[in-house]
């Protein structure tokens, strides 16, 4: 059976279909003082489950995942697989300034304590984060989001910053890869060096692991269009789309945005959600 946190039910229902299994329910209450209460609901106790849940910026998300893991342990139900499609706080994987908390390490430590036989993550943000996690399987979804027939319609693959370079090379095949330079003077601000890139008259596929506010993608697209790119398509595994991403992306010269459904499906106008459920089911 699959036991899913509330923020992953959109994927859990699809996975249940692909894996031919059911969903394990649970009850959540809050006491007068605000404390949470969790109770598993089943007629016949399963021997083991797949525990599925996203870690989002809301600390309640990881608490819910840990609470469900505790409920399973206290009920003597094993966790065959822990699956975390979206791992929040991954961008806080190192100290940029003195005194910062490396929250990716804290989140990884909490997940590592969950007694699962297998661990599955989707398109992790960095090698640093990969090293923080216990032995695991990582699912790379961009070839599903941009399948080979679609990919053949492009001339060049672009990484909007150095962090996306490995992903771009992995999906490019025989296509050339361009890695753009980016500078962040402060949080949520992106600056581009006035560099020239060989994109004139070319159909560009830009790839990244996630789209948050869209500033990185938009600033890259604006620069490439000014340099003569014929068209720009963007593909990312995790579509966060925090405000004001709709405004930022809709005003950028982007022809199409493709995003996976690790998070609850949402894309800006003209975008398309591609489900990763089938690929994830194979990994489970």
Q: Are 116 and 79 in contact (CB under 8 A)?
A: yes
pLDDT at 190: 62
Query: Residue 119's beta-bridge partner residues?
Result: 82
Segment 7-30, tens digit of pLDDT: 999 999 999 999 999 999 999 999
How far is CA 133 from each of CA 21, 118, 215, 250, 281, rounded to the nearest angstrom?
28, 12, 29, 36, 21
How far is CA 282 from each of CA 19, 42, 196, rounded to the nearest angstrom?
8, 26, 42
pLDDT at 154: 95
pLDDT at 141: 94
pLDDT at 64: 97
pLDDT at 149: 78
pLDDT at 179: 93
Segment 167-205, tens digit of pLDDT: 999 999 899 999 998 766 566 566 667 788 999 999 999
pLDDT at 233: 96
Residue of 182, 202, 225, 247 marked catalytic: 182
Active site residue 230: no
Q: What is the mean pLDDT of each run of 10 residues along the chain (284 residues)?
A: 96 95 95 96 95 97 98 97 98 91 97 97 96 96 90 92 91 92 64 82 96 92 95 96 91 95 84 93 92
Torsion sign (Cα): 223, 225, 228, 229: positive
Q: Which two tokens stand for residue 267?
A: 């894309």
């Amino acid at each position: 059976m699959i036991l899913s946190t509330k923020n992953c039910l959109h994927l859990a229902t699809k996975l249940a279909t692909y894996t031919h299994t059911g969903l394990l329910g649970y009850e959540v209450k809050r006491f007068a003082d605000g404390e949470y209460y969790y109770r598993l609901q089943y007629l016949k106790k399963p021997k083991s489950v797949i525990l599925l849940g996203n870690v989002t910026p809301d600390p309640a998300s990881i608490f819910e995942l840990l609470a469900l893991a505790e409920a399973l342990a206290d009920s003597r139900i094993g966790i065959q697989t822990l699956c975390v499609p979206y791992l929040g706080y991954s961008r806080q994987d190192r100290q940029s300034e003195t005194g910062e908390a490396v929250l990716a390490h804290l989140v990884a430590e909490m997940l590592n304590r969950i007694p699962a036989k297998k661990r599955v993550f989707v398109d992790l943000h960095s090698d640093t984060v990969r090293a923080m996690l216990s032995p695991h399987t990582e699912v790379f979804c961009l070839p599903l989001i941009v399948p080979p027939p679609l990919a053949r319609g492009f001339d060049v693959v672009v990484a909007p910053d150095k962090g996306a370079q490995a992903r771009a090379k992995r999906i490019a095949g025989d296509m050339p890869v361009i890695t753009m330079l980016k500078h962040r003077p402060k949080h949520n601000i992106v600056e581009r060096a006035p560099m020239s890139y060989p994109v004139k008259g070319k159909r560009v596929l830009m790839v990244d692991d996630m789209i948050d506010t869209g500033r990185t993608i938009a600033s890259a697209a604006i620069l490439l269009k000014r340099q003569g790119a014929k068209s720009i398509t963007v593909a990312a595994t995790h579509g966060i789309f925090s405000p004001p991403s709709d405004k930022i992306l809709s005003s950028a010269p982007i022809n199409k945005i493709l995003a996976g459904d690790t998070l609850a499906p949402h894309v800006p106008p003209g975008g398309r959600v591609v489900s990763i459920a089938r690929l994830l089911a194979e990994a489970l």
